[in-house]
Structures are given as structure tokens and as C-alpha cells.
A and B are shown apart, each in its own frame.
Chain A
Amino acid sequence: MVKMNKKRDRLEVIYDILKTISENHNSIKPTPLLRYSNLSSNSFAEYFRDLKSKSLIKEIVDQKGSKYITLTDKGFKYLAKYQLIKGFINEFEL
């Protein structure tokens, strides 16, 4: 499971959330994701809305009516490119 540090910037929080979903075979319920994300409920809800609006994650409902969160292609791309983008932002101090 992704280790969550306390002082994380927004990009790191997003990376941690997406990585958690990816490491759970790309399917996780909202409650355990909230727990692993190490965020308050309000912060998590805000990030959740943001990730959905950016099409990095999507919600699916199974036949029993349970909600699961999965990564989109864009979400996988974010995970793959994260280190490079972070390196770029850090080097240019953007």
C-alpha cells in the first residue's frame, strides 16, 4: 500500500490516491480509499470531485449496487508521467 506522508502537495496527494487505486487491482470502494488517502472526509470529497472532473478516475456500480472507483486511461497516464512532471515542476520551480 502507498505510504502517506503528512506534508504533501496537491500533485502528491493525487498521485497517492491514484496509486492506491492502481495497487488494489484498479478497483476500490470509496471508504477504504478514504482511509488509505490519509485525508479528512471533506478534503477527500474535494479531491474525489476534482479527480472525477479531470477524468482521472471514474465510479462504477456493480450488479449488487456497490460503488467502486477505478482509474481511467488518463489516470494511468498520470501515474506513469508523475515523476517526470514532478521533476519538471521542481527544476523550473513552477
Chain B
Amino acid sequence: MPPLIFNPTLFIAESFFTLITIILCLIIFLKTKESYDLTKHQGIKLFRNAFVFFGLSYLLRFIFMISRTFMDNGYYWREIMPYFILVLGYLSTTAIFYLLFSIIRKKFNQKSLVLIGHIIAVLISLLAFAMMSHLILLYIQSLLLILVIIISFIIHQKKSLIKTICVLILIFWLINLWVIAPGWLLPVEVKILFQIISIILFVWIYYKISKWLK
């Protein structure tokens, strides 16, 4: 199978989007470093870890897209893609768990939860790897998203910033993952629109943080 048709507009947009998202995740991580160093507050730790894992997930997703564009499709799906799924599955599922733990931290013993989260993330990524399908990953993470939404609404019944952030980040992560799924042929304009909205979301989170942590 030949490589996918190269679309320079989409490639530039993807590169720009990924770079901005990774930089914002990194800035959020660094902005909260001093606060964590001073207080060792577990909520801050979980929050900033979520952004590290999301930053890495977006980076890997970008490499995933580039390699898919430039490599022979048959070889790519057979030899390369399963390993991408393995690592991407672990990183992104762990990021989702860190966001979830930020919400439920005050209600549950956080130390054992983090360990359980890592174990579940490894199991999910191994399952997706064994089945050589990143659709499995998408389905499981979609279920996790629903779970996060339900839990966050049970725990934070009132309007809550962390709840809003978690739900929006997860929704846009899944949209971005769906966009690169095979057979998911959206117009370039729609793909770029999703990416712009994603960037706006991260800029908004950064703005909220920078108000406090100058």
C-alpha cells in the first residue's frame, strides 16, 4: 500500500497545533513547579503530572501521524503502529487517570489510586497492542471519559473549574484521536477547526493558571 496523500496545509496545521499544545503543557508544568516545590501539595502534583502525560501524548500522536504519512501503509500498520499504540495508550490513559485523580483526590487514598491507575493504563495499552488496534484504545478511553464525567458530577455537584477542565481536555483528546483513525475522513477545514478549539482550551487553562502563578 502506498503512503497516504501528503497534504501540506494539514501537515503545517498539525505541526503548529502540536507544537503549541506541547509548549502550553510544558509551560503549565513549569508554572506550577515552584508551587509544588514549596508546598508538596498532592493536588498540584496530580494536576501537573496530567499535563506532562498529555504533552507527551500529543507529541507521540504527531509522530504517529507523520510516520503514517511518509511510510508504506502496509508495513506501517503491521510493524510500527502497534508499538505506537502501546506507548500512546499508556501515556494518554495515565494522563486521563491523573486528571481523574485530581478530581477525586480529597475523597480517596490517592497513593494507592495512582499505582492502580498506572497498572490499568499498562493493561489497556497491552490490550490495544495485542489486538493491533488503536480503535480499542479509543473505545476504552471513550468509556473512561464517560466514567470521569459521571464521577466528577457525583463528587463536584456544583460548578467546578477542575471538572470543566477535565471534561473539555478529555473530549478534545478523543476528538483528536478519532481524527487520525483510519477511515475517518474529515475535511481538512474541520480537522483544523478541532485543533484551533483545542489550542484555545489549553490557552484558557494557561491563562487561568498564570493569573495566580506569575
Contacts and interface: CB of A to CB of B under 8 A. Distances in A.
A84 B160 contact: no
Contact of B38 (A81, A87, A92): A81
B180 to A, nearest CB: 30
A11 interface: yes
A61 interface: no
Interface stretch (B40-48, B68-76, B83-91): B40-48
A93 B214 CA distance: 19
Interface in A77-91: 77-78, 81, 84-85, 87-89, 91
B147 interface: no
A54 B156 CA distance: 32
A85 B35 CA distance: 6
A39 B46 CA distance: 29
Contact of B161 (A56, A78, A92): A92
Give the interface centre of A11, A54, A91 by most chain B CB atoms within 10 Å: A91
A94 interface: yes
**Interface residues of B toward A: which range?**
20 to 34
A74 interface: yes
B39 A11 contact: yes
Contacts of B44: 88-89, 94
B213 A91 contact: no
A92 B209 CA distance: 9
Given A85-B213, A87-B212, A94 B102 contact: yes
Interface in B30-73: 32, 34-35, 38-41, 43-44, 46-47
A89 B34 contact: no
A93 B208 CA distance: 13
Contact of B212 (A56, A78, A84): A84
B140 interface: no
Contacts of A14: 39
B105 interface: yes
Interface in A22-42: none
Contacts of A54: 40
B179 interface: no
B38 A93 contact: no
Contacts of A93: 156, 160-163
A6 to B, nearest CB: 20
Nearest to B43: A94
A94 to B, nearest CB: 3
Contacts of B47: 92, 94
Contacts of A87: 212
A22 to B, nearest CB: 15
A54 to B, nearest CB: 6
Interface of A: 11, 14, 54, 56, 74, 77-78, 81, 84-85, 87-89, 91-94
7 closest A-B pairs by CB: A94-B43, A88-B212, A85-B35, A93-B162, A78-B38, A87-B212, A84-B212
